[in-house]
């Protein structure tokens, strides 16, 4: 594994964690709560994200308005939002879907913080696995005479710095989400 490939994998892990955290409800309206919900809008076509089927607007801190491009699929989008794991209860008002975002109680906030911690741990494990693969690759190249021992040490140092940096970024992102969840 080359250093560029290693860095790309670390970046993908970070981006995946960031996306996972963005879907955690914080008690205030946010487009990311519904934009990735999958909807089977048309017979014979693959499911599409709400973001691809409608515009999503934050009306106020506790209300989202979803306006489908095709008014005939309004009910299907509403049903998909209701059945999603987001815990939202949309209502159809003409051709607009209103999605109230209830405030979280203390128990729900703690549950979401725990969920975010679990996602952080999954990201850390992924980073560890990427690190192990990269170091193994570097050591194999040195054993096969492709790189020198000095080059191997330099690459290992780069790998360790990358792990340290990405773990700090993951921690900072988690801390930010935790603060957002625990602040009333």
Query: Domains in the chain, please, with CATH?
Result: 3-22+105-182 (1.10.132.20), 31-100 (3.30.1360.40)
Percent of the chain with pLDDT over 70: 98
Give the separation between CA 56 and CA 64, rounded to whole angstroms.
7
Percent of the chain with pLDDT over 90: 44
Long-range contacts of 21-26 (CB under 8 A, 24+ apart): 21/116, 21/119, 21/173, 21/174, 21/177, 23/86, 24/112, 24/115, 24/116, 24/177, 24/181, 25/86, 25/87, 25/101, 25/104, 25/112, 26/104, 26/112, 26/177, 26/180, 26/181
Give the separation between CA 104 and CA 118, rounded to whole angstroms.
19
Over 70: is that where the pLDDT of 1 sits? no
Measure CA 139 to chain center.
Answer: 33
- Mean pLDDT (whole number) for 126-142: 91
Query: Which tokens is 31 given?
Result: 């487009």
Q: pTM of the entire structure?
A: 0.70
pLDDT one-digit tens code per residue, 57-111 = 999 888 999 999 999 999 999 999 888 877 788 999 888 999 998 887 888 888 8
């Amino acid at each position: 594994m080359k250093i560029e490939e290693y860095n790309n994998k670390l970046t993908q892990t970070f981006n995946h964690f960031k996306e996972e955290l963005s879907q955690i409800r914080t008690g205030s309206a946010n487009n990311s709560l519904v934009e990735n919900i999958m909807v089977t809008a048309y017979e014979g076509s693959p499911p599409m994200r709400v973001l691809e089927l409608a515009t999503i607007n934050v009306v106020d801190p506790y209300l989202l308005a979803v306006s489908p491009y095709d008014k005939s699929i309004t009910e299907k989008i509403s049903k998909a939002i209701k059945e999603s794991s987001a815990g939202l209860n949309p209502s159809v008002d003409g051709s607009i879907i209103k999605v109230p975002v209830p405030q979280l109680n203390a128990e729900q906030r703690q549950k979401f913080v725990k969920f975010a911690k679990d996602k952080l741990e999954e990201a850390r494990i992924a980073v560890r696995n990427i690190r192990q693969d990269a170091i193994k690759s570097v050591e194999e190249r040195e054993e096969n005479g492709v790189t020198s021992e000095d080059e191997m040490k330099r690459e290992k140092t780069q790998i360790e710095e990358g792990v340290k940096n990405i773990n700090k970024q993951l921690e900072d992102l988690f801390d930010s989400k935790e603060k957002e969840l625990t602040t009333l």
